[in-house]
Structure formats: C-alpha cells, structure tokens
Amino acid sequence: MSNTTPLAVVTLAAGKGSRMKSDLPKVLHPLAGKPMLGHVLDAASALPGAVQHVVVGHGAEQVKISLADASVQWAEQLEQKGTGHAVAQAMPNVDGEALVLILYGDVPLIQTQTLQKLVDIAAQDQLALLTVNLANPDGYGRIVRNTEDAVQAIVEHKDATPEQHLIAEVNTGIMAMPAKYLNTWLPALSADNAQGEYYLTDVIAMAVADGVVVTALQPTSESEVEGVNDRVQLARLERVYQASLAHDLLVQGVSLADPARIDIRGSLTVGANVFIDVGCVFEGDVVLADNVTIGAYSVIRNSQLGDGVKVETFCHIEDARVDAGCNLGPYARLRPGAELAEGARVGNFCEVKKSFIGKGSKVNHLTYIGDTTIGEGANIGAGTITCNYDGVNKFRTDIGDGAFIGSNSSLVAPVSVGKGATVAAGSIITKAVGDGELAVARGKQRNISGWERPKKSN
Ligand code: UD1
Ligand code: CA
C-alpha cells in the first residue's frame, strides 16, 4: 500500500467504568489534569493524517461536550454489546480504503511511536496486534500461538481452558488492520461465548482463516498498555506519568529537590539552571526562564517567570507575568492579571490581582493590590489595601513612581497618588494626592495627661 493510505483511529470509550464509583464518565477522569481520553487522542493525533473516531455510550453527551475542541467523529454505541460491536458503530464513518487503528479511551499512556509501528505493519496488509507478557494475566484475553509461534487466536479469560490460562501473553486490546478486513469480519462475529458479547478479539482467528498475516508487537513498557478500571490504577498511572515528566526535566538539566514530589498538569517550559523544591504543582502553560528558583509547596498556573525570579515557599501564582529578578513570597498570591516588572517584590501575605507593579517596586507585607497600576521604585507599606470594590463596581488605583504609602493605609478607588508622593501611615485616601505631596488622612492624636484608668467596681 502507498503511504497515502488514509488512517482512521477508532477509540473505544463507551464502557461504564462502574469500578470508578463516579458520576464522571471513566474516560473523562483526569490524568495530569487532562482527561484520559484526551491523552489517547493526543497520542493518536501525532500520527500523520490520522482521522479520529470515538465510540461513546455511557455519558456520551458529557464526553462529547468535554472534548468539543477535539477534531473527532463521534459514533454512538447505545448498548454495550462488546468491543467488536463497538468498533462496528464507527465503521460506517470510516473510509473503506483506510487502515484502522483501534485504541481504548481508558489506556492513557499509549505512545505515538508504538502506534506508528502498528500502523506500519497494517500498511503491509497485515493485522498488527499489541500484546504484552504479564506475571498475572488473569482477566485478559490470551494470545494463542501454534507450534511455529504464529498467532492463531485470542481466547478471552472466561472462555479459556485451564491450559490456556497458563499463557502469559495477553491482548492489550490495541490493534491495527485494513478497514476492508474489518468490514468483512465484524458482521460475521457471533456472541456465542461466555459473556454473550461480540468480541473484537474473534477477528484474529478470522484473519488466520483468511490467510491474513497476524503480527504481534510489544510496547516499550507495560504502563503504556495499562488500562484504568478503578481509581487505584488511575493513581498508579498518574505516578508513572509524573515520574517520566520529572525524569525529562532532570535530563534537561533542571534541579529537582525530589523528582517524586513534583506534579505537572500541563506544559512546563524551563530554562537553564532552574531549581524546584519539593511539593510544587504546575498547571496549564508555565514558563520558567533561566536561573529561576521555586520554593517548596508553590502552585503555579498559566504564568511566565523571567530570568532569576525567586519564589519562596508557599506561593500561589495564576495567570501572572513576573519579569526578571523579581522576588515573591513566602506566602504571596498572584491572581489573574498580575504583572510584575523587573526586580519588583511581593512579600508575605500579599495578594495582587489585575495590577501592574513597576520596576523595583516593593509590596512587602500583608497587602491587597487590586486593579492598580504602580510605577517604578514605589514602596507600599505593610497592610495597605486598595479598596477597589464598592460592592457593585470595581475601580482603579494609580500610584506614581517613587511613591511611598505608609503602613495600614486604605486607598479608596478611584484614586491616584502622584510621583514621589507620600501617604502617612494609617491614612484613608479618598482624594487624589499630587506629585511630591504628603497626604495625612487620619484622626489627630490627642494626649490626655493625668488620665486615670477605670477601677473595678466592687
Ligand atoms: C478486552 C479484550 C481482552 C483484553 C482486554 C485488555 C475483548 C473481547 N477483550 O477485555 O482480550 O485482554 O480488553 O484490557 O475485546 N468497550 C466499549 N463498548 C463495549 C465494550 C467495551 O466501548 O461494548 C470499551 C470499554 O469502554 C473499554 C474497552 O472497550 O475502553 C475494553 O472493554 P473492557 O470491557 O474493559 O474489555 P475487557 O473485557 O477487559
Ligand atoms: Ca478492561
């Protein structure tokens, strides 16, 4: 066959997954923050020219909605009558000249290279079968070979003889073959077996009977073909996946205090000489430039951190941009729209939302900065609050270059504090403060001499 043969990928995802004990359809359970089915679709979409089909059943609507962005042709299997029946639901949408690759939506760690090998075998007019040898093959379909070691059939565990139960080589469920064969074999399946189902696995014996070569191939690792039936298996695969991401980071030259204590749910792009302490979680697209240090137990989501940024322990950073040389935390929170220019500092128990903090400005302690623009070299004292919300609307605060806001001040927006202006500690600022001015807006101190403290009556 020429290499222009179309490729149809059919992923089975109609099963109920009762052992997950969940309202969420099984294939939508996240692994590294992405539905298992999303991992499978991503692995297959890297195959040149792949047209993806997904067979849905239980929770079909929810699955389709969750993966609405994926370019997929959906097929519905109204009743789960077996894997052969499931594949048959997609075949009317599949080009009769195509090669068909069959995947499971609950086998999330399958690798593109392995799939490519199966497709290459199927392209030689063969049936390509992915098998694995298991120490405990219980429950799986067994690969039956003849004395010449050629694959003859797959026998499901429940239909197998005691001798066949001793076979360690099992069917992973993943296979590839020309559509023309499936279109002949699937209608010929019978449900006359222990489970009363239309087994896809019966096509193996049909291939042998029709003289089609069956070639078995093994994956690089067992976890690649491991299916998820319950949360124990899902948690295990999550660890396997996280370990491989951590390994890749180490190989790239990132220092991890403990590769077993980092979680990446999305894409983490890192520069040179980066250190990440224990317990950090990265979500969405995170970019760390050279020389970034992340302190223990920080959570960073969809954010970019520039060269030499130092994040101390327990920071929470979301949809933020932090330029080179900034220092954060410990216990700093950057909410969506926080932008810190070079060398800015946000210290402990400070929250910054939808605000720009200029070059070298400091927001060091116990402060809320929301809907605010701060110029360069400003100093925001401990306990400063920008009062940006009147209960209905949000208003902006503007703080000029070199301004000094004394501790425990409230800046009631909309309001501005000019360049080089000073706000006395404890002020409640409701009117604009001009450049270079001092604003004092607090009760005047009165000292009463000879004051006697109340005495306890009786
Ligand atoms: C299947 C294989 C078995 C293999 C094992 C690997 C058959 C008959 N058996 O068994 O040889 O060792 O997988 O895990 O193929 N599905 C549907 N519709 C259905 C039935 C299943 O979409 O009507 C989907 C499920 O959601 C799941 C996959 O197909 O993703 C496998 O189904 P499952 O019931 O787990 O198959 P097993 O009995 O484990
Ligand atoms: Ca299964």
Q: How far apart are CA 127 and CA 133, in angstroms?
A: 19
Q: What pLDDT, on the 0 to 100 scale, is given for residue 30?
A: 98
Q: Is 131's C-beta closer than 6 angstroms to any atom of ligand 1?
A: no
- Superfamily assignment of 7-225 in CATH? Spore Coat Polysaccharide Biosynthesis Protein SpsA; Chain A (3.90.550.10)
What are the tokens at 330?
């410990």
Q: Evaluate if residue 1 carries a pLDDT over 70.
A: no
Pocket lining: 227 vs ligand 1, CB cutoff 6 Å: yes
Atom of ligand 1 nearest to the CA of 171: 12
String of b and e for 183-196 (b: at least 16 CB within 10 Å)?
eebbeebeeebeee
Closest residue CA from atom 8 of ligand 1:
199
Task: Starting from the CA of residue 141, give the closest ligand.
Answer: 1
Model pLDDT for residues 372-426, shown as the tens digit of each residue: 999 999 999 999 999 999 999 999 999 999 999 999 999 999 999 999 999 999 9
CA distances from 391 to 387, 388, 394, 395, 412 (A): 10, 9, 8, 11, 13
The CATH number fitting domain 231-439, selected from 2.40.160.40, 3.40.630.10, 2.160.10.10, 2.60.40.10: 2.160.10.10
**Euclidean distance between the first and final Cα of the chain, in Å?**
106
Does the pLDDT of residue 282 top 90, yes or no?
yes
Which phi and psi angles does 28 have, rounded to 5°?
Answer: -90, -5
Mean pLDDT for all residues in the chain: 97
- Write down the pLDDT at residue 320: 99
Segment 16-38 shows an average pLDDT of 97
Cα–Cα distance, 435 to 340 (Å, whole number)? 23
Whether 358 is in the pocket of ligand 1, judged by its Cβ within 6 Å, is no
Of the candidates 43, 67, 34, 69, the one whose C-alpha atom is nearest the C-alpha of residue 264 is 34
Q: Which of 85, 157, 165, 365 is catalytic?
A: 365
Per-residue pLDDT tens over the stretch 179-193: 999 999 999 999 999
Which sequence spans correspond to the domains of the chain? Answer: 7-225, 231-439
Contact by Cβ (8 Å): 437, 456: no
| Per-residue pLDDT at 3 | 55
Which atom of ligand 1 is found nearest the CA of 26?
26
41-94 per-position pLDDT tens digit: 999 999 999 999 999 999 999 999 999 999 999 999 999 999 999 999 999 999
Q: How far apart are CA 189 and CA 202, in angstroms?
A: 7
Mention every residue, 6+ apart, whose C-beta is less than 8 A from residue 449. Answer: none
Encode pLDDT of 350-362 as tens digits.
Answer: 999 999 999 999 9
The ligand minimizing its distance to the Cα of 226 is 1
Check pocket membership of 256 for ligand 1, CB cut-off 6 A: no
pLDDT in the model for residue 289: 98
Give the pLDDT score at 4.
78
Q: Taking the CA atoms of the chain, what radius of gyration do you get in angstroms?
A: 31
Convert the pLDDT of each residue in 388-399 to its tens digit: 999 999 999 999
Residue with tokens 């139960």, as numbered in its chain: 165
Identify the H or E element spanning 143: strand 142-145
Instruction: Tell me the pTM.
Output: 0.94
317 — pLDDT class (breaks 50, 70, 90): very high
Tell me the CA distances in angstroms from 394 to 333, 340, 380, 389, one per residue in order. 20, 21, 21, 5
> Shortest CA distance to 266 belongs to which of 225, 313, 292, 300?
300
Residue identified by tokens 């109340």 is 454
Q: Reply yes or no on whether 365 is catalytic.
A: yes
- For residue 14 and ligand 1, the question of a CB distance below 6 A is answered with yes
**What percent of the chain lies above the pLDDT cut of 70?**
99
Instruction: Give the other-Cβ count within 10 Å of 321's Cβ.
Output: 18
Within 195-344, strands assigned E span 214-217, 255-256, 262-270, 275-276, 280-288, 293-294, 299-301, 304-305, 310-311, 316-318, 321-322, 327-328, 332-334, 338-340
Give helix 36-45 / helix 112-122 axis angle, nearest 10°. Answer: 50
pLDDT(114) > 80: yes
